[in-house]
């Protein structure tokens, strides 16, 4: 890494203009923040917040496909959203501990960037596990839903990195390279790894949404395992291109790359094992709910007034009995 590149990534990246030679010679310079009532509001935080909102809407809309209620979704999200942000930040800080011990005032400055998705996923899975245990609903069915919301959130959230001029890769002359021009006029061309991952996640969302909506799931947890495999495959090679990776101690081992490889192996093995099993349709939680299985609460077709049909049946019975007596 040359000295100009090091200077740019550490001190000037947010002031750099961006260009994509494949789209012409023009450049853009989107601001990293805007001012509202005297405070700087960073687009990174706005975009991440929008990703959470979209994920919430997706979960509530698709909840019945895995057999849970919208109320259950809100109960999970009430804890999930704040704790995932905390987990993502703690993960990031822990693997840059030397820096944050020297700059403790920056530990809570998440609006400037620094959320590690793996920290959010780990904490999110734990939150879902404990809430599902308390509510007595299958954790894997809930993970099938929330992980699809997660991947579309990741696809959108990466554009926060774009606004911050971060999460890009090493220098390259590839056709889709991104140019970063410092205020001094020096330009370097790098891998737009934020874009690679955003597009990879978008493709994963399109497939998983189709897979869930078309009823292709054979068992609870299948969407979750497919996500682990898909995201792991993409992140393992994209992480190798990045210049801002988190490392294990003072080694050259990228923690996110190792976790991605572990995800690939574990999910691939479990998917193969499950592919060889005979899964009964009635074992899916959503099918048990729809069939009114013992101990499973049925989700009404009309949640606002689920008992409308019952009084009508009683009235008809009463009229019939009255007629027969007459």
Residue 301 per-residue DSSP state: S
Express each pLDDT in 56-92 by its tens digit. 999 999 999 999 998 999 999 999 989 999 999 999 9
Q: Is the pLDDT confidence value at 267 over 90?
A: yes
Mean pLDDT of 127-145: 93
pTM of the complete model = 0.83
Torsions phi, psi for 254 (to 5 deg): -80, 120
Where is pLDDT greater, at 219 or 161?
Answer: 219
Closest among 74, 81, 12 to 48, alpha carbons compared: 81
Express each pLDDT in 10-49 by its tens digit. 445 777 889 999 988 777 888 888 888 888 888 888 998 9
Min mean pLDDT across 20-34, 88-102, 132-146 is at: 20-34
Cα maximum dimension of the chain = 101
pLDDT number for residue 300: 56
How many helices, marked H, and strands, marked E, lie in the chain? 11, 6
C-alpha of 26 from chain center: 32
Query: What's the burial of 97, exposed, middle or buried (CB within 10 Å: 0-12/13-18/19+)?
Result: exposed
Express each pLDDT in 277-315 by its tens digit. 999 999 999 999 988 765 566 555 544 444 444 444 444
Q: Give the start-end residues of each E strand in the chain.
A: 17-19, 27-28, 33-36, 39-42, 178-181, 187-190
Domain ranges of the chain: 26-169+193-325
């Amino acid at each position: 890494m040359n000295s100009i590149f090091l200077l740019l990534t550490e001190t000037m990246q947010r002031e750099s203009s961006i260009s994509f030679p494949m789209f012409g010679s023009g450049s853009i310079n989107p601001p990293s923040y805007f001012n509202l009532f005297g405070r700087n509001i960073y687009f990174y935080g706005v975009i991440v917040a929008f990703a959470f909102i979209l994920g919430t809407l997706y979960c509530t809309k698709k909840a019945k496909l895995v057999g849970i209620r919208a109320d259950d979704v809100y109960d999970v999200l009430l804890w999930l959203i704040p704790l995932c942000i905390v987990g993502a930040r703690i993960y990031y800080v822990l693997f840059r501990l030397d820096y944050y011990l020297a700059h403790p005032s920056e530990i809570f400055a998440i609006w400037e960037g620094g959320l590690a998705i793996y920290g959010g996923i780990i904490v999110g899975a734990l939150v879902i596990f404990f809430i599902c245990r308390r509510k007595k609903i299958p954790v894997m069915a809930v993970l099938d839903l929330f992980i699809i919301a997660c991947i579309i959130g990741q696809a959108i959230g990466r554009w926060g990195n774009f606004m911050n001029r971060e999460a890009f890769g090493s220098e390259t002359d590839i056709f889709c390279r991104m140019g970063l021009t410092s205020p001094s006029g020096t330009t370097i061309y790098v891998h737009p790894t934020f874009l690679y991952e955003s597009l990879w996640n978008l493709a994963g969302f399109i497939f998983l949404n189709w897979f869930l909506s078309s009823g292709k799931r054979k068992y609870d947890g299948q969407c979750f395992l497919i996500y682990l495999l898909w995201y792991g495959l993409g992140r393992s090679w994209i992480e190798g291109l990045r210049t801002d990776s988190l490392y294990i101690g003072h080694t050259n081992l990228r923690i996110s790359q190792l976790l991605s490889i572990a995800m690939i192996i574990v999910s691939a093995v479990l998917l193969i094992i499950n592919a060889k099993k005979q899964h009964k349709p009635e074992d899916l939680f959503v099918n048990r709910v729809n069939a009114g299985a013992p101990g499973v609460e049925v989700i009404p077709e009309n949640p606002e007034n689920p008992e409308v049909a019952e009084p009508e049946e009683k009235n008809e019975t009463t009229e019939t009995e009255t007629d027969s007596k007459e």
